A and B are shown apart, each in its own frame.
Chain A
Amino acid sequence: MAIVEMNKFTLFVFSETREDLLRELQRFKYVHFLDLKENEKIKEWGLTGIDVEDALEVVDDDLHKLMFSINELNKYTNRQNIFQKVKNGSPSLSFEELGKRAITIDFLSFYKQVRKLVSQKEHILYKQNQIKAKIELLTPWIPLHVPVELLYSIKTCDVITGRIPKRFQKKVELQLASSQYTYFSIIGEDQDFAYLLSISDRSETEHIRKILKAHEFTRITLIGSEEPKETIVKLKKDFQEEQKRLADLKNQFQQLTEKLTDLEIVYEYYQLKKMRLTATKNYVRTDYFNIIEGYIPKKLADDFQKRIEQKCGDDYYLEMREAGKNDPNVPILLENSRFARSFESLTAMYALPKYGEIDPTPLFSIFYLIFFGMMVADIGYGLILLVGTFGALKLLKLTQQQKNFLQFFYYLSYSTIFWGIVYGSFFGDLIPLPSLINMEEQYNLLLVLSIAFGIMHIFFALGVRGYLAIKNGRLLDAIFDAGFWFLALGGGIAFVASLFLSVPPSIEKTGLVMMVIGMIGILFTGGRNSKSIGGKIGGGLYTLYGISGYVGDFVSYSRLMALGLSSAFIASAINMMVGMLFKMGIIGIIFGLIVFVVGQAFNIFLSLLGSYVHTIRLTYVEFFGKFYEGGGKAFQTFRSDSKYIHIK
């Protein structure tokens, strides 16, 4: 339980067996490589890294092509498939099967097909855009009932077509009207421009041009040979034709989607290949052999060695020893019981432990369970959570990560139900139930209970701190950093409590004495790491001042009460409204049901989210703050989580 013990290995193999070995190790999965090129000593010895940049580039390029094809095709998969995918999960293959199938698939020709279709699609879209632009250009000219060909074929006169800004329209009309041998007409208008046709005798053309030019005239040459109206009809027909071709392309795309799984298999295969190449970067080499360093879980050491032997025969040299407790490079792999495992993601979100530390997951998981339940505290909500997560776990095919997530809430649902029974709460006050603690009246008791839980939580954390110090052989530290705090805080709590409760005076006195001893102890030892006397005194005072922080910590646990109350009261407020609606006859009942379902669903969401976050806070700040440092690197398995295909 807790952090998996690691072995550090250094492996020498001949260059030609490297590839084969890597494949075997990838099947083995649990290897974490170190980058030897970073090692200063190795640099001094003059060993060099292995250059795989070119090979990597090729793989990257292939992956890119695969990704492109998959993304394009994904646009055409129908929805039903996606739904089925969730239900069935991703297809799964073994490592060997994946490799065998991948090399039989000719994805390049496939990529070319997709590529071709995409270019065709782009071409059609481009054509359609052009047609649209042409239609737009011609639209203002619809009223012109002359075939365009005829218009431009007039030999004796000059024909000018174009547009002017509307603000000049009047002015231009006036000026053109003064000409003698010119026919002109405003054919059409749109928001900003007037479209103008003018036919004038050669002798006057220059004059007309000048007038137009002074008014921001832009010449437009009409396209087509027929009347603009007819040309537009033809263009629209062309557009429809392109549309048909587009639909045809869509069909072709859809046919290709049947091969999507094949592509995904190749994609995964290349991903694995890329990982092997990236791992190769961590090697260093001489002319004949390669060296690699890394970590493997200690209990898999024999298997590891066997696999190497199988691939390399006798031609290898392996040095293996247990990883040092203080080695900062040891990667962290957590291993916990089914229950604690579902809480691991919370540890990882904060920071993984360092190799010398302990895995805090099992320690905080019990408290997390209790606190979460206390905040949601509703039988109904708990049951919904229980049925929902249980059903999903049984019915759906999920990845390990999703499973852990659901399992996490599955366990939490029990605690929620338990606290629901304690508070007598079922969807708030929907059904009156007997309660051990009545929330509406006994909130003082609830507050005391919350803080009592807080004291337990924090004392437990202090205990862990003491235990860690003893385990690492620092008995004095355990006494100074945990023992004195126990005395000071425990005594203080007993003393303060005795002021409000009637207890025998002996308890009051013992409490006071304990507190004073503890505080003096802290005062004298708190600054022991400082070098100067002043530093020692200041440090001691400062550490003692930390007691105020503990007071804040204890008060922080009042959120256990607060969230419990808020979710219960919001639920009862919803029930109250529903009750009012129910009195209003049949329509009221219908609306009441809607309000009930929507309102309660919203409250479930709110209280689950709130409780999740606030319990995290209690864990990270109040609990971890006492003993846990973290900062370990995660163990990078030699096979990352696959995207499309589940690899067994």
Chain B
Amino acid sequence: MDRLDFTQGVVRTRVLEKKLLTFGTLERLIDAGTMDEAMKILKETDYGSSFSLLTENNDFETILFAELKRSFQIMDDVSPDSSIVNLLRLKYDYHNLKVLLKEIILDKDFSHLYLPIGTMDIKQIKTFILNENLQDVDPPVRAAIVEVLTDYKITRDPQRIGIILDRLYIYHFLKIIEAIKSPLFIEYAKAMIDFINVRTLIRVKRQKKDRKFLEEVLLSKGNIEKEKFLHSFTDSIDQIIRNFRNEKIAKGLIPALQSYKETNRFEDFEKEMDNYLIKLIREAKHIHFGPEPIFAYLLAKETEMKNLRIILVSKANEIPPQMVRKRMRESYV
């Protein structure tokens, strides 16, 4: 991949970045009295173009989804190399795969849960699985399908579908990233793995499962050794904070663990994790030649939508603004 090929795409991304919602607009949205008011404000932003799709006024998901799809399409057009955009589509692929395998295993119809943003033709994959012919499926995905199906045959536990696919998704993601050879991407992926591992650690402790289960669900290839998590298995949260004090991600991890300790909510942990990762990816602002700004833009857009969803859901449920503010993620701009 020649970094100079991205010159045009980077400049286009810079212009698009200006259209991301500003802090001021988000504040206005938070302070908006009602859902209608919020929607009115949103209509005057870049999201306005998706409003024509709206059938029922309160169904903001339609708009968010249309906008997400649009952002991906724009970036497909902007990026000279599809692997960058597909890297971020991967998440949706695995989501769809999860839904598909649940459909097959439980023999139910979940078709409303599909997110048609991924790269895979999920219908086709369904036919392949039903015909028991996986030859034309992308090897990592084929391996994933096989693993899930064999695991289910042995354990008969549909819960494990999600766990397995989440893990394989991260490995697949990392594999693509390693091929791109961007230090920023690798740092991003490794930080993400570390965070997920810490989250797994506290989740397993909370669910009172055993050490063997932890060993199975921990991800490898992060910056922090798997051993270290296993050693921390019996420690209290305070001790865990001390254990990971000197890690690279400590700047985000410690506040994450502390707010988890205070509220006992995983959302608060995840908020700090998102903040750390978006701060990390802000480095892309200083890169003029390379795929990073395109990657960062899509992440920024996803973060923006996460924030919008928090705001709009709270409008629907009449949650006061100060509560919403606490849950907001930092934005890229």
* Complex contact B28–A122 (CB within 8 A): no
Docked complex Cα distance between A60 and B23 (Å):
14
**Residue of B at shortest CB range from A215?**
B127
Listed in ascending order, the chain B residues whose CB lies under 8 Å from chain A are 24, 28, 31, 44, 48, 51-52, 123-124, 127
Residues from chain A with Cβ under 8 Å of B44 in the complex: 64, 68
**Is there an interface contact between B51 and A216, defined as CB atoms closer than 8 Å?**
no
Q: Is the CB of A57 within 8 A of B52?
A: no
A423–B28 Cα distance when bound, in Å, is 63
Q: Given A122-B52, A123-B52, do A216 and B123 touch, yes or no (CB 8 Å)?
A: yes
In the complex, how many angstroms separate the beta carbon of B81 from the nearest chain A beta carbon?
25
Given contacts A60-B28, A64-B44, 11 further A-B contacts (CB under 8 A): A57-B28, A57-B31, A68-B44, A122-B48, A122-B51, A125-B52, A126-B52, A129-B52, A216-B123, A216-B124, A216-B127
Closest 7 pairs between A and B when the two form their complex, measured CB to CB:
A126-B52, A122-B52, A68-B44, A57-B31, A125-B52, A216-B123, A216-B127
Task: Give A residues with C-beta under 8 Å from B.
Answer: 57, 60-61, 64, 68, 122-123, 125-126, 129, 216
In the assembled complex, how far is the CB of residue A72 from the closest CB belonging to chain B, in whole angstroms? 10
Cα–Cα distance between A125 and B44 once the two chains are bound (Å): 17
Task: Say what secondary structure dominates the interface of chain B.
Answer: helix
> Chain B residues near A57 (CB, 8 Å)?
28, 31
Q: How far is the CA of A126 from the CA of B24 in the complex (A)?
A: 30
| Chain A facing B: main interface SS | helix
Contacts of A123 in B (CB 8 A): 52
Query: What residues on B are CB-neighbors of A61 within 8 Å?
Result: 28
Could you tell me the distance in whole angstroms from the C-beta of B163 to the nearest C-beta in chain A? Answer: 31
Closest CB of chain A to B55's CB: distance in Å?
Answer: 11
A216 to B124, CA, bound (A): 8
Residues of B near A216 (CB, < 8 A) are 123-124, 127
Q: List 17 A-B contacts (CB under 8 A).
A: A57-B28, A57-B31, A60-B24, A60-B28, A61-B28, A64-B44, A68-B44, A122-B48, A122-B51, A122-B52, A123-B52, A125-B52, A126-B52, A129-B52, A216-B123, A216-B124, A216-B127
Task: List residues of chain A with CB within 8 A of the CB of B31.
Answer: 57
| C-alpha gap A61/B44 in the complex (Å) | 12
**Bound-complex Cα distance A64 to B44 (A):** 9
Residues of A within 8 A of B127 (CB): 216
Closest to A165 in B: B124
Roughly how many angstroms separate A68 CA and B43 CA in the complex, as a whole number?
A: 11
- Report B-chain residues with C-beta under 8 Å of the C-beta of A129: 52
Determine how close the nearest CB of chain A comes to the CB of B149; give it in whole angstroms. 22
Complex contacts, B28 vs chain A, CB 8 Å: 57, 60-61
Residues of B close to A122: CB separation below 8 A: 48, 51-52
Give Cα distance in the complex from A513 to B123, angstroms: 93
How far, in Å, is A211 (CB) from chain B's closest CB? 14
A57: nearest chain-B partner, CB-CB: B31
A415 to B127, CA, bound (A): 80
Q: What is the bound-complex CA distance between A216 and B125, given in angstroms?
A: 12
A247 to B24, CA, bound (A): 35
Closest Cβ neighbor of B126 among chain A residues: A216
- Give chain B nearest CB distance to A160 CB in angstroms: 19
Q: Which residues of B contact A64 (CB under 8 A)?
A: 44
With both beta carbons as reference points, the residue of chain B lying nearest to A214 in the complex is identified as B127
- Among B28, B52, B127, the one with the most A-chain Cβ atoms within 10 Å of its Cβ is B52
Residues of A within 8 A of B24 (CB): 60
Which chain B residue has the least Cβ–Cβ distance from A127?
B52
| B51: A residues at CB distance < 8 A | 122
Minimum CB distance partner of A130 in chain B: B52
Residues of A within 8 A of B52 (CB): 122-123, 125-126, 129
- The CA-CA distance from A478 to B38 in the complex, in Å, is 65
Closest to B31 in A: A57
Of B24, B28, B44, chain A has the most CB atoms within 10 Å of the CB of B44
Shortest CB distance B184–A (Å): 32
